[in-house]
Structure 1
Amino acid sequence: MFRPLLIATLMALPAVAGAQTAPAADTGGTGTPPQRVRAVTLGAGQKCPQSSDTEIVICSTLDQPYRIPKQFRDSGPIPAQNQAWGNRVATQDQVGRVAGGLPDTCSPVGTGGQSGCALMTNKQWAAERRAQRDAESTVP
């Protein structure tokens, strides 16, 4: 009883396999995938070059080099529950360094006061400049 079912299945396999190997339709109509993907960064007033059957062209501009539009990008801090474990460990390590007064931590305890405070001041200044530049670029 099992043998006729097995024979019928084996006889149907070539037909199923032949149906799966049919060429897929693509937008170029040639049946072959593009051979090359090219990323182009455009300056002011430049146009994106046309794609061809053998090449896909992805264009970005200098003012917006990302593929996600600016209004959809989240530039705020990432909540702790959404961060990777590596970032969480790095944060805990930095907190521990400051609490222990290790070098480059700007702690009043231990040897880290001088170099760490200058480094922290420079980072704070750079963050303020970056925030000011971002605020100026978003104002129409």
Structure 2
Amino acid sequence: MFRTVVLAALIALPAMASAQDAQVASPPQRIRSVTLTGDQKCPPSTNGEVVVCSTLDQPYRIPKALREDKPIAAQNQSWVNRAASMDQIGRVAGGLPDTCSAVGTGGQSGCFLARNNAYAAERRAPSSETTTTP
């Protein structure tokens, strides 16, 4: 009895595998991203095409309610960000050139550079707010 069941399963195995291959769809040939404005509707996808729609007020695929605006915790940041912050802290603490620090010989030039960058950012801010695009 057991041999008969095993023999029947071995005979049916290639037929089941070919049936599964027939059911697996081929991957999409094209992925189209559409940005909708107003009351537009997402266009239907065709065979071999995937359409991803987004609106101008929510251009991201993650819904706004699920997005986190909090800063990323230090243990979850990449090594590049960690190394950059440690480098900046070390530069300021050591009084290296171009750091705004009261310690060391390069503090004066760094403070001037920081004030100059802040002034330039303030000058750019109002001009970008008043600029309108057609």
Q: Determine if the TM-score, normalized by the shorter chain, exceeds 0.5.
A: yes
Q: Tell me if structure 2 keeps the 8 A contact 1:60–1:66.
A: yes
What is the aligned counterpart of 1:66 among 60, 68, 77?
A: 60
- Provide the C-alpha distance between the structure 2 equivalents of 1:91 and 1:62, rounded to a whole number of angstroms: 34
The one-letter code sitting in structure 2 at the alignment partner of 1:114 is F
- Provide the C-alpha distance between the structure 2 equivalents of 1:42 and 1:104, rounded to a whole number of angstroms: 47
In structure 1, what is the equivalent of residue 37 of structure 2?
43
- TM-score under structure 2 normalisation? 0.64
**Cα distance, 1:20–1:117 mapped onto 2, change above 3 Å:** farther
- Provide the C-alpha distance between the structure 2 equivalents of 1:45 and 1:101, rounded to a whole number of angstroms: 58
In structure 2, what is the equivalent of residue 92 of structure 1?
86
* Cα distance, 1:90 vs structure 2: 1.7
**Cα distance, 1:60–1:95 mapped onto 2, change above 3 Å:** same
What is the aligned counterpart of 2:13 among 12, 16, 23?
A: 16
* Cα distance, 1:113 vs structure 2: 1.7
Q: Tell me if structure 2 keeps the 8 A contact 1:103–1:115.
A: no
Gaps of 5+ in 2: 1-5, 126-134
Q: Secondary structure at the match of 1:21?
A: helix
* Cα distance, 1:115 vs structure 2: 0.5
* Cα distance, 1:68 vs structure 2: 0.6
* Cα distance, 1:103 vs structure 2: 4.4
- Provide the C-alpha distance between the structure 2 equivalents of 1:122 and 1:46, rounded to a whole number of angstroms: 43
What is the aligned counterpart of 2:112 among 100, 111, 114?
A: 114
The one-letter code sitting in structure 2 at the alignment partner of 1:88 is R
In structure 2, what is the equivalent of residue 76 of structure 1?
70
Q: Tell me if structure 2 keeps the 8 A contact 1:104–1:113.
A: yes
- TM-score under structure 1 normalisation? 0.62
The one-letter code sitting in structure 1 at the alignment partner of 2:74 is A
Identity of aligned residues (%): 51
RMSD over equivalenced CA pairs, Å = 3.3
Q: Tell me if structure 2 keeps the 8 A contact 1:106–1:113.
A: yes
